[in-house]
Amino acid sequence: MNTKSLLSLLLAIFALSGLSVKAASPNSANDAYSKAVVAYIEAANKEMATYQKDADTLAGQAADNERQAFKDVYAKLDRCDQLLKQLTDATPRNFDKLKAEYEKTRADMVKTLDGLRKTTTGK
């Protein structure tokens, strides 16, 4: 084998080894992405459990004529739960769209719940 052929062979080997390193990188990126998704969903589920408890407590303290106002909060809590379930199985392409909808729904629910805290007079 001449020097030129040997050099070509070595370059090809180095090039292929570089490709295999690059091919491994998306897996580690996918692992990091998956871990971030799981952490986000776990934190969001804990947050939703707290809001659910707050809503239940406040609704329990509300006068009979005030309880109807909590329907909107509970509907938004339910929608947040649905979106979190969808986020669990979402592809990276759909994740951001679902996350944005979840965060908007959550913000609307928090605003409504905070308003009810201020206006609920109790039994």
Nearest to 102 by CA among 114, 120, 121, 86: 86
Give the number of other CB atoms < 10 A from CB of residue 96: 10
Position 10 pLDDT exceeds 50: no
Cα–Cα distance for residue pair 98/43, rounded to 1 Å: 16
| Residue listed under structure tokens 């799981």 | 38
Q: How far is CA 110 from CA 47, 84, 115, in A?
A: 11, 16, 8
* Helix, strand, coil share of the chain (percent; to 5): 90, 0, 10
Tens digit of each residue's pLDDT (9 = 90 or more) over 95-117:
999 999 999 999 999 999 999 99
Burial (0-12, 13-18, 19+ Cβ within 10 Å), 39? exposed
Tens digit of each residue's pLDDT (9 = 90 or more) over 31-76:
888 899 999 999 999 999 999 999 999 999 988 888 888 999 999 9
| Structure tokens belonging to residue 68 | 């109807």
What was the pLDDT predicted at 46?
97
pTM over 0.75, yes/no: no
What was the pLDDT predicted at 23?
43
Query: Would you say 102 and 80 are in contact if contact means Cβ atoms under 8 Å apart?
Result: yes
Mean pLDDT of 76-86: 97
Displacement of CA 73 from its chain's centroid (Å): 20
Tens digit of each residue's pLDDT (9 = 90 or more) over 16-28:
444 434 444 456 6
What was the pLDDT predicted at 67?
86
What was the pLDDT predicted at 102?
97
